[in-house]
Amino acid sequence: MKIKNLIAVTLPLLLCSCAVVESKKEDKIMQTKSSEFFKYPDGRSAKLYQLRCADGFGVDISDHGATIIALYTPDRNGKLRNVALSWADPARYINHPIYLGALVGRLANRVSNARFVLDDKVYQLLPNDRKTNSLHGGFGISGRLWQVEKHTDKELVLTLKSLHGDGGFPGTLDITARYTVSDDHKLTLEITAVPDRKTVADFTSHVYLNLNGEGSGDCSDHSIMMKAARRTEVNEMLIPTGNIPEVAGTAYDLQKERNFADIRKDFPNGLDDNYVLQDKCGIYTHAAAVVSAPESGIRLVLSTDRPGIQFYMANCLQNKPGRSGNYVKFGGFCLETQNWPDAVNRPEFPSPVITPEEPYRSCTEWKFETF
């Protein structure tokens, strides 16, 4: 199925019912289509919304940060496994420095020196990475309660208004995130962001995955293949140098399938690098990344219209209290579909600038198969 390049900016309000639905349950718990997830200190409630196909494939998403909390897909034996990592205590999502499952922005990845210039005006952002750079726009959208506009068995639409000056960014932004699931075991995320003036934007899902199931140990048996002949070279602060070297013949080459454990022989702390798919935004790459896990027999085929993928092997997870017990180092991985890092300060990179006439649009698809 072709990727949808356009999604509606205005969507009808459709409140979901709380009817009980029966799923093939890994947790042996009956769930409702929506339920309370946790309470904020001010008394507001964050909710959990369930999307399910007939065979149990589906996802649980919170309106806090438009966050993926669980993702159920069948293994080679037909048993559902939750492959998305999440906190044991939902209240940890209020202040989550590793963005577990969250939708991040206004600018995904790093902005050098937490500043950029737009039309000769300097905008200072909040430095939250190594006390110098901005990372994922701080907690501007990932730490907020979104509005649910529509919820059905297979679709969830959330919106958020980010005001002018939010996190230091110019312009008021109306953001819409649309999650859908389909019977062919595909999860799709479509995002639009319409500004009231010229500004910059880039968003990504920071879902952590383990195709053997969350809490099942590290991902050493996984393998990855990426349709990327280049990467954005970075300095010791993980800020792009401006060089876009070829990966062929280097330890960074993922154009042929490579095992995670083998990658860590070259990179003891794992990779945390942006791989280049395209030279501009909006070009669809089918099967941009393919990850396979022999133990479960689950394969992920990721497709996107973003020009890059940040492949992060999650060395941050050691002793983090997850849903099924403490996570281990390399207990998950992220494939963050995005613009190139620090593009806002690199005019030679794909432009992150958007306007009311040319708003932000993106689409990413996670297709799950067995082998």
Catalytically annotated residues: 206, 336
In whole angstroms, what separates CA 167 from the centre of its chain? 20
